[in-house]
Amino acid sequence: MAATHGEYRGYLRNAADMEAGQHRFHPVQSSETTYRPLLFGTLAVMGLLQVASSVAILLHLTGYLQEVDLSTAPRGPIEEVQTEPVLNALRDPKRKRCKTSKESLPSAHLPIQTKTKYPPKLEAVVVNWDGEQRYRNRMEYQDSKLLVGESGFYYVYTKICFRYYRLDGDSPTRPPVDVSNTQLIHYVYHESSKHKSTAKLMKTGSTMHWNLTTYNMYCAQQGRGVRLDQGDALYVEVSNAWMLDLEGEGTYFGAIKLGN
């Protein structure tokens, strides 16, 4: 039993030693607990420093760009800085004009020819336009036709006015026709140089019931876009052409190029 009791005491002593040994490890665990916040704090500080340096670089670059813009801009009011390039372009006659300006676009505007006498009949005839008062830019006019000098997409327009009135003692100058049921129609035709054909582009008109003893007038206008080739021709036909209003403000014909 003595031996057994001694072994039991040894066992207890060993258990006590073990507990003592476990207490010796506590300082190591506490040191790890101290190092972790320090490590995290160091990483956080490094991250903040990196963000701060990035912001500082960005601010530096932004300030550098602003400094360059301010140094290269002319010193003066804002209005002068904005308008100076435009004024210089207008003052310099050697500068080339923009190719898309309105002055460079092929175009034409033709008022009616006032000296033409049309027969008193219903059939449609070709309208003659004024060769002296006309406006043309890179387009030709020949034999009552507007000739296309440059291929592209054009806007073609026309306005026709008819009028009829009969005053006292004016009967000898007016043809003896019935105007109580008058067809006033006008057409715009396109002659294609490529296909050697003629097509009707536009048509408009009306049947008018006029009175012989009063002033009568009717106007119609039309326009459309169409693709035209170099060498094509445009012309206008009207019925009852002897009733045409021979004033350029009311009866005219034209075209303008919009693009390629």
CATH tag, 102-259: 2.60.120.40
Asked whether residue 68 carries a pLDDT value surpassing 50, the answer given is: no
pLDDT above 60 (res 175)? no
Q: 102-120: per-residue pLDDT in tens?
A: 558 999 999 999 888 898 8
When comparing pLDDT for 88 and 196, which is higher? 196
Confidence grade of residue 234 (pLDDT, cut at 50, 70, 90)? very high
40-54, 76-90, 229-243: segment of lowest average pLDDT: 76-90
> What confidence score (pLDDT) does residue 221 get?
95
**Most confident option among 38-42, 114-118, 225-229:** 225-229
In the chain, what percentage of residues exceed pLDDT 70?
A: 62
Average predicted confidence (pLDDT) for the chain:
76
What is the C-alpha separation between 73 and 189, in angstroms, rounded?
57
**pLDDT confidence bin for 69, thresholds 50/70/90:** very low
Mean pLDDT score, 11-39: 54
Position 76 scores a pLDDT of 46
pLDDT score of 136: 86
% pLDDT > 90, the chain: 43
State pLDDT tens for residues 126-140: 999 997 777 888 999
**pLDDT band per the 50, 70, 90 thresholds, residue 40:** confident
